[in-house]
Chains A and B, each alone.
Chain A
Amino acid sequence: MKKNLQWKVVLTLAVVVGAILLAYPYTQKKIKLGLDLKGGIHLAVQVLTDDALNIETDQEIARFQELLKKNDVAFQSITRERPGRFVMTGYDSDKEGKIREIMDDYARDWDYSFGGERAVFSLKQPAVIFLRDQAVTQTVETIRNRIDQYGVAEPLIQRQGSERIIVELPGIDDPDRVKDLIKVTAVLEWKLVKAGPAPDEATLLQATGGQVPEDAEVVKGDPKRGHSGYYLLSKVATVTGGDLRTVRRSQDEWNNPAVAFTLNSEGGARFEKTTGENIGKQIAIVLDGRVQSAPVVNARIDRNQGGIIEGGFSLEEADDLVVVLKAGALPAGIRYLEDRTIGPSLGADSVRQGIMAGLVAIVAVMAFMIFFYKLSGVNAVLALILNVVILFGALAYFKATLTLPGIAGVILSVGMAVDANVLIFERIKEELALGKSVINSIVQGFSRAFSAIFDSNLTTIISAVFLFQFGTGPIKGYAVTLIIGLVANMFTAVFVSHLIFDLTVRKTAKRLSV
C-alpha cells in the first residue's frame, strides 16, 4: 500500500469509529428529540407588566393619602389614571408647596405637575423600565419554581426580548394541567366576609343601600369550587400568600383533599387577632379574585396553629395549589401568545413514520445505485452508509435536537448525497468512452466533477444556513441535519469513495464496473 493511502485509510477509519462511538449506543441523552417527536409543550408567554405598574401605583396612592392626612392636606379624590400615573383633584392650591415637599421627601421616583384643579403624578421613566423588567425576571423565576416543584425533566424557561418568555416542557402527558399551573396568578388572600353569599350583586348590597361601602369590595365565588354567589368582603386582607410559611396537601375532616398551611410569625399574629375578634363570622379564602371557601370562625386560631384551605378539591387540584403557593404568586398576569402542545403519541407516530420513510428511502437509493452502477454502486452505497453514520455522530457531538423536519433533512440528504457519486461516475464513464485507461478515468472523473459537487453542496448549504438563522425549533433541526449531511457528503462521496477505488481497482485494470 502506498504511504499516502495508508494515512487516508487511518483517517477514514478514525472518522468511522469516532462517529460510531458518538452515536452508539443510541440513547435519548445522545441525540435529543425535539418537542414534535417527544411530545411536549411550547409556550410563548407575554408578561402583562402593566399589572406590576398598577400595583406600584396603587401602593403609592395609599402611601400618599396617608401622608396627606398626616400633613392636613384635604382633597376630593385620588384616582389611578393609567399604569404609573394618578391624578388628585379638589385640593387647596395653597397647599401645593406642602405637596411638593411630601413628594420630594418620600416619593423620589415620581414626577408631579399642578394644573389648577388637577395634580398629575407620574412614575419616572427609569423606574417604569425597572419595574417592568423586574416583573418579567420575577415571572421567569416563579414559573421556573412552579415547574421545578411540579417536576418536569429538562424544562427550558427563557426570557425572549423585553416582555416575552419562552417555556418548553418536553415529555408532558397532562398538558392542560401544566398550562393551568403556569398561568394561574396565585394571589391568595384571607378576607373577612361582611355579607353574602348572595345570588346576585343587587341582593348582596340590599343591606348597604345598594352601595359598596368604602372599605369593602364585591368578590364572586369560584364556580369550580361550587360557589357561584357574590360576597361582600373587607378590602384589606388579613393575611396573604406572602405570609405563608409552609403548605402541604392534607385532608379535611371528611377525608377530602385539602391544603394545610402555617403562617409566619407576623401573619400568624394578625390571623390570631382577627379570628379572635370575629368568632362566629365568616372569613373568605380568595384565590385570584375568586372565593374558594368561606369557613365560619369557630374559635381564635393560635398563631402557630395554621389551618386548612378546603373547597372540594380533587387530589390533583390540591397538589397543584400546593405547588403554586410554594412557588409564590406571579408579579403580573400573563397571557399565552403561542401554544403548541404535541401529545406523546403523535410524537411517537412521527418517529415511527420518519424511521419508516427513512429506511424505504435509503433502501430505494441503494438499490438504484447498485442496479445502475454495479460495483461502483456498491462503492457509493458504502460511502452513503458512512455518510449517515457521520451525520448521526455529528448530531450527537453538537448535541443537536432531532425534529421531524430534521428527519426529513436526513432523508433528503441521503438523496442528495449520492448526487456527488452520480456526477463522478458519469464523468468516469465519459472519460472511459474517450478511451482513457481505467485508473486515469477515475482520477479525471473525481477531479473534474469536484467543482460541480462543491458548488452544489454549497448552494444548498447557503439556504440552510439562513433557515437555521431565522427558523424556529423544528426548522432549525431541519437546517442542521441538512448542513451536516452535506458537509459529511464532501468527505464520504469524494474522499472515501476515491479511497475505495484506490484500494480495490488495480493499476492495470482494463475494465471498471460502472
Chain B
Amino acid sequence: MQLFKTPHIPFLKYKYIALGASVLIVAAGIVNVMAGRGLKPGVDFGGGTLLRVKFKAPMEAGEIRRVLKDAGLDNSVIQETGSKDGREFQVRTAQTVKTADEQQEMEAHERLADRIIEALRSAAGEAAPLPDRSDLNTMGARALTSLLAVAYPERAEDLAQKIVALRTQTGIFANFEAVKAAGVGDDVVRYLEGKTSLGSLTVLSRETVGPQVGKDLRNKATKATIWALIGMLVYIAVRFKLAYGVAAIFTLAQDVLISLSLYSFTNRELNLPIIAAVLTIVGYSINDTIVIFDRVRENQKILRREPLESIMNTSLNQTLSRTLITSGTVFLTLLALYLFGGEVINDFAFIMLIGTIEGIYSTVFMSCPVVLFWYKLFAPKKGLKK
C-alpha cells in the first residue's frame, strides 16, 4: 500500500513564502511574549502556587471567581479540569508576591494558598469545619485507624485502609452513602457519620516553588537546553558537510522558535516539561531532515547532470510519504496522550503536537532552501552558471 504515488510538488518554489510565513510567526510570537501575554513562567519557574481541588458537589467557575474576588484574591486563575463535571478545579495563584526577603516570599505564597483553600471552602458553603469532628475527606489512614479503634479495636486498621483506598479512587466522598462502597458494613459507616464530618473539598495537589528554587530550575532548564543544542551541533558538524550543517542548525532553531511562538498564543504556561518537549521536538525533527539530506546525497550520485535545486525537489518528493508516515505515527500517539492523558500532562502533549506538525513543515520547506542560499552566497560563480 502506498500513501500516494511519488508526487511532483515544486516545494522549492514556495521557499520565499515559507520563509515569510516563518518570519511572520516568530515575529508575532516575539511581540506576544514581549507584551507579556505569552509564555508566562509556570510554577516551576515563576514561583507561586498551583492548587488542584475537588469539590464534593458541582460548582460554578464564575461563583468561585466571585468568592475569590471578594476575599481579595482575584489575581488567581481558575480553570475547570478533570471530567468537567464542575467538581475539579485548578487554581493558579497570582504569579508574584514580591517581598524583600526571598524566604518570606515563599511563606507568603504558602499563606496565599491557605487563604484560597479557605475561601473555596466557604464558597462551597462550608462555614467552618466542625471543631470536634475530623474531616473524613482529608484525614489520613493513621488518624482514621485510631478513631475506628475505639469502636472496632480488632478491625480498625483494615477498615481504615479500605475506606482510604476507596477515597483514593474517587477523590472525595460526596456523602456517607458513598462510603458504603468500601464494603466496610453499614454499622461502621453509621459510626463514622456520628464521629466525622465530610469536608466540602479535598486538595488533590498543591505545588509551591519559592523564588530560590525557581531560579535553580530556570538555571537547570537553560543548561539542559544549551547543552542539548551543543550536542546537536557537534553531531551535525560530524555528520554533514558545512552547507547542510548550517541548514540543519537553521531548521533546528526554527523548530524551537516556531513551537514556542505558537505555544505563546495559548494560555498555557512555561514549565519544565515544556522545555523537555521542545528539546525532544528538536531531536526528533532533525531525523526527517537527515533522511532528506541522505536522499539528496544519494541522488546527486545518480542524477549527476541535474542542478541541485531539482535534485532536492526530487528528493523531497521521494521522501515525502515517509516523512508524513513517521511523523504521523508519532502524531497519533501524541494525540492519544493529548486526549486521554489527563490535565497534568496536557501542556506537554499539546506543544509536542505543534512541534510534530511544525517539524514536517520545517523539514520540507526550510531545510533544502537554506542549503541553496548558502551555495548561492559562497559557491564559486562558475558553479552557478552550470
Contact assessment for B336 and A361 in the assembled complex, using a CB-CB cutoff below 8 Å:
yes
Chain B nearest CB, measured from A384 CB (Å): 10
A-B CB contact pairs (8 Å), 7 listed: A174-B138, A337-B213, A338-B209, A342-B204, A344-B168, A353-B342, A419-B329
Among A80-88, A236-244, A469-477, which stretch is in contact with chain B?
A: A469-477
Contacts of A452 in B (CB 8 A): 287, 290-291, 294
For residue A465, CB closer than 8 A to chain B, the reply is yes
Mask, B335-362, CB within 8 Å of A = 1, is: 0110111101100110010000000000
Chain A nearest CB, measured from B307 CB (Å): 23
Mask, B73-102, CB within 8 Å of A = 1, is: 000000000100000000000000000000
Contacts of B284 in A (CB 8 A): 416, 456, 459-460
Contact assessment for A365 and B332 in the assembled complex, using a CB-CB cutoff below 8 Å:
yes
Q: Which residue of A lies closest to B348 (CB)?
A: A408
Cα distance A64–B348 in the bound complex, in angstroms = 62
For residue A466, CB closer than 8 A to chain B, the reply is yes
Contact assessment for B139 and A412 in the assembled complex, using a CB-CB cutoff below 8 Å:
no
For residue B143, CB closer than 8 A to chain A, the reply is yes
A412 and B326 contact, Cβ closer than 8 Å, known pairs A346-B204, A466-B231, A469-B224: no
Q: Which residue of A lies closest to B321 (CB)?
A: A426
For residue A44, CB closer than 8 A to chain B, the reply is yes
A467 and B340 contact, Cβ closer than 8 Å, known pairs A364-B333, A405-B345: no
Contact assessment for B330 and A466 in the assembled complex, using a CB-CB cutoff below 8 Å:
no
**Closest 6 A-B residue pairs measured CB to CB?**
A174-B140, A415-B333, A456-B287, A353-B342, A463-B283, A470-B224
Cα distance A452–B231 in the bound complex, in angstroms = 18
Contacts of A455 in B (CB 8 A): 239, 287, 290
Contact assessment for A459 and B332 in the assembled complex, using a CB-CB cutoff below 8 Å:
no
Mask, A281-307, CB within 8 Å of B = 1, is: 000000000000000000000000000
Chain A nearest CB, measured from B192 CB (Å): 16
Contacts of A319 in B (CB 8 A): 146
A residues touching B (Cβ–Cβ < 8 Å)? Answer: 36, 39, 44, 46, 172-175, 177, 315-316, 319, 335-346, 348-350, 353-354, 356-358, 360-362, 364-365, 368-369, 371-374, 404-405, 407-408, 411-412, 414-416, 418-419, 422-423, 426, 429, 451-452, 455-456, 458-467, 469-472, 474-475, 478-479, 482
Contacts of B172 in A (CB 8 A): 345
Q: Which residue of A lies closest to B217 (CB)?
A: A472
A462 and B103 contact, Cβ closer than 8 Å, known pairs A173-B140, A364-B332, A474-B273: no
Contact assessment for A426 and B280 in the assembled complex, using a CB-CB cutoff below 8 Å:
no
Most buried by A among B103, B205, B217: B205
Main secondary structure of the interface of B (DSSP, over half): helix
Contacts of B106 in A (CB 8 A): 335-337
Contact assessment for B279 and A364 in the assembled complex, using a CB-CB cutoff below 8 Å:
no
Most buried by A among B143, B330, B352: B330
Cα distance A470–B207 in the bound complex, in angstroms = 20
Contact assessment for A368 and B143 in the assembled complex, using a CB-CB cutoff below 8 Å:
no
Chain B nearest CB, measured from A512 CB (Å): 12
Contact assessment for B140 and A177 in the assembled complex, using a CB-CB cutoff below 8 Å:
yes
Of B171, B280, B322, the residue contacting A422 (CB under 8 A) is: B322
Contacts of A335 in B (CB 8 A): 103, 106-107
Of B82, B143, B282, B322, the residue contacting A463 (CB under 8 A) is: B282
Most buried by B among A349, A469, A474, A479: A349
Within 8 A of A (CB), among B213-245: 213, 217, 220-221, 223-224, 227-228, 231-232, 235, 239
For residue B38, CB closer than 8 A to chain A, the reply is no
Mask, B308-334, CB within 8 Å of A = 1, is: 000000000000011001101111111
Of A346, A461, A469, A478, the residue contacting B283 (CB under 8 A) is: A461
Q: Which residue of B lies closest to A405 (CB)?
A: B273
A345 and B213 contact, Cβ closer than 8 Å, known pairs A174-B143, A350-B344, A470-B221: no
A469 and B227 contact, Cβ closer than 8 Å, known pairs A357-B339, A364-B336, A408-B341: yes
Q: Which residue of B lies closest to A173 (CB)?
A: B140
Contact assessment for B342 and A350 in the assembled complex, using a CB-CB cutoff below 8 Å:
yes
A360 and B273 contact, Cβ closer than 8 Å, known pairs A372-B325, A373-B1, A466-B231: no
Most buried by B among A336, A463, A469: A463
Of A173, A467, A469, the residue contacting B276 (CB under 8 A) is: A467
Contact assessment for B336 and A471 in the assembled complex, using a CB-CB cutoff below 8 Å:
no
For residue B56, CB closer than 8 A to chain A, the reply is no
Chain A nearest CB, measured from B13 CB (Å): 25
Q: Which residue of A lies closest to B207 (CB)?
A: A340
Contacts of B169 in A (CB 8 A): 345, 348
Beyond known contacts A335-B107, A415-B333, A465-B231: 14 more, CB 8 A cutoff? A177-B140, A336-B110, A342-B205, A348-B169, A357-B342, A360-B336, A408-B348, A411-B341, A452-B291, A456-B287, A464-B279, A464-B283, A471-B220, A471-B224
Contact assessment for A46 and B103 in the assembled complex, using a CB-CB cutoff below 8 Å:
yes
Contact assessment for A414 and B333 in the assembled complex, using a CB-CB cutoff below 8 Å:
yes
Q: Which residue of B lies closest to A365 (CB)?
A: B329
Cα distance A464–B284 in the bound complex, in angstroms = 11
Contacts of B291 in A (CB 8 A): 423, 452, 456
Q: Which residue of A lies closest to B164 (CB)?
A: A173
For residue B259, CB closer than 8 A to chain A, the reply is no
For residue B272, CB closer than 8 A to chain A, the reply is yes
Cα distance A338–B227 in the bound complex, in angstroms = 26
Chain A nearest CB, measured from B133 CB (Å): 11
